[in-house]
Amino acid sequence: MTKTVYVVSDSVGETAELLVKAVASQFNGGVVEIQHFSYVQNIEDLELILTQAKNNDAIIAYTIVVPFLKQFLDEKAKEEGIFAVDLLNPLMQAFRAKFNSEPKSEPGLMRKLDENYFRRVEAIEFAVKYDDGQDVRGIRHADIVLIGVSRTSKTPLSMYLANKIFKVANVPLVPEIAPPEELFNIPKNKCVGLVITPNKLNEIRIERLKNLGLTAQANYANLGRILEELDYAEKIMKRIGCPVINVSNKAVEETADVILAMFKKRGV
C-alpha cells in the first residue's frame, strides 16, 4: 500500500523532499506519494493541509521556520492525531545551543545564498572571458568597464568586483591600437578610467620585467613611453567622459570600494 507524505514548507520545500525520499528508500521499497505544499504563508493554508492530511492518513514532513506557523502546525497536528515532523528542529536546536544565538526565522534564505553563489560564479567567468580586451562584445553586457594602460590593476580589480557579483570587462589602452567603438556607445558612468603616476608605473613595470627575467631597459618600462601611454589614456578617458580614479597608492580593495561607492550613489 502506497503511503502519502505531505511536504510542507514556507519556502520551496526542496530540502524536505530530499530528506523524505532518503528516509522512504529505507521503507516499502521507497514507494511513497509526495504531495507538495510550498510557500505556505498563513494559518488558512495550514488548516486546509491538516484537513487533507487527516482524511488521507498522511504524514506531514515540514520545513517551516516562521514561529507562529510552526507553533500552529505542531499544536493542531497533535490535537488531530496527525504525524507532523519538523525536519529542521533537531539541527536548529543544536545550532541555537552551540552558537548561543537565535535563528533569523526567515524563509527562503538558503535559496538566496544559492542564487548569490551562482551569480558570483557567473560574474567571475564573465571577468575571465572579457579580461584585457579579449572580446569587445563584453563591453555592452558588463556592469562595469575598466580602462587604463597596462599595470593599473585592471585584472585583479575585475576579479575582486566579480566576487561582489558585478560583471566587469576591462580594456587596455595602447597608443598604437584604437580603442573599441563600444567604449563610446555605453553610458559614460558605466566606464571607469584608472590612472597612475608615471614614476609609480615605472617602478611596477620594472619589477614586472624582472619577474619575467627580462631587462629593465625594455621599452615597456621606459619613462618616455610611459608618459606617452598615460597621455593617450587621459585623452581617451576625457573623450568618453567617464569617472577617473588614481590607483597610484591604492590597494585593489581600496579602489574597488571607491567604485562600489560610486555605483551605490547612483542606485546601481
> For 183-223, what is each residue's pLDDT tens digit?
999 999 999 999 999 999 999 999 989 888 887 678 999 99
101 annotated as belonging to a binding site for a ligand: no
Same domain, 149 and 250: yes
What mean pLDDT is predicted for residues 6-25?
A: 85
End-to-end CA distance of the chain: 56
Q: What is the predicted pLDDT for the residue at 110?
A: 59
Same domain, 56 and 98: yes
Same domain, 73 and 116: no
Phi, psi (5° rounding) for residue 174?
-130, 130
Better pLDDT: 192 or 264: 192
For residue 268, pLDDT over 60 is answered with: no
* pLDDT band at 84; cut points 50, 70, 90: very high
CATH assignment at residue 20: 3.40.50
149 annotated as belonging to a binding site for a ligand: yes
Judged by DSSP in three states, 126 sits in helix
Same domain, 132 and 158: yes
For residue 243, pLDDT over 70 is answered with: yes
Same domain, 242 and 196: yes
Same domain, 131 and 220: yes
Q: What is the predicted pLDDT for the residue at 28?
A: 63
Number of domains making up the chain:
2
Better pLDDT: 225 or 112: 225
Same domain, 91 and 126: no
Show which of 107, 130, 162 is a domain's final residue.
107
For residue 107, pLDDT over 70 is answered with: no
* Neighbouring C-beta atoms of residue 174, cutoff 10 Å: 14
247 annotated as belonging to a binding site for a ligand: no
Q: Which burial class, exposed, middle or buried, applies to 193 when counting CB atoms under 10 A from its CB (0-12, 13-18, 19+)?
A: buried
Contact 170, 158 (CB under 8 A): yes
Same domain, 175 and 94: no
Judged by DSSP in three states, 63 sits in strand
Contact 44, 73 (CB under 8 A): no
Q: Which three cell numbers stand for residue 264?
A: 551605490
Show which of 49, 74, 107 is a domain's final residue.
107
Q: What is the predicted pLDDT for the residue at 239?
A: 97
Show which of 107, 124, 148 is a domain's final residue.
107
193 annotated as belonging to a binding site for a ligand: no
Q: Which three cell numbers stand for residue 186?
A: 555605453
Same domain, 93 and 142: no
239 annotated as belonging to a binding site for a ligand: no
Q: Which three cell numbers stand for residue 124?
A: 567571475
Residue (of 86, 55, 82, 57) closest to 69 by Cα position:
86
Same domain, 10 and 103: yes
CA 197, 173, 147, 134 dihedral sign is negative
Q: What is the predicted pLDDT for the residue at 118?
A: 81
Same domain, 133 and 257: yes
213 annotated as belonging to a binding site for a ligand: no
The domain in which residue 117 lies consists of 110-265
Integer Cα distance of 266 and 268 in angstroms? 6
Contact 9, 39 (CB under 8 A): yes
For residue 130, pLDDT over 60 is answered with: yes
Q: What is the predicted pLDDT for the residue at 17?
A: 86
172 forms bridges with which residues in the sheet? 148
154 annotated as belonging to a binding site for a ligand: yes
Same domain, 171 and 240: yes
Contact 244, 195 (CB under 8 A): yes
Q: What is the predicted pLDDT for the residue at 43?
A: 93
Q: What is the predicted pLDDT for the residue at 80?
A: 94
70 annotated as belonging to a binding site for a ligand: no
Query: What is the b/e burial string over 35-46, where b = at least 16 CB atoms within 10 angstroms of the residue's CB?
Result: eebeebeeeeeb
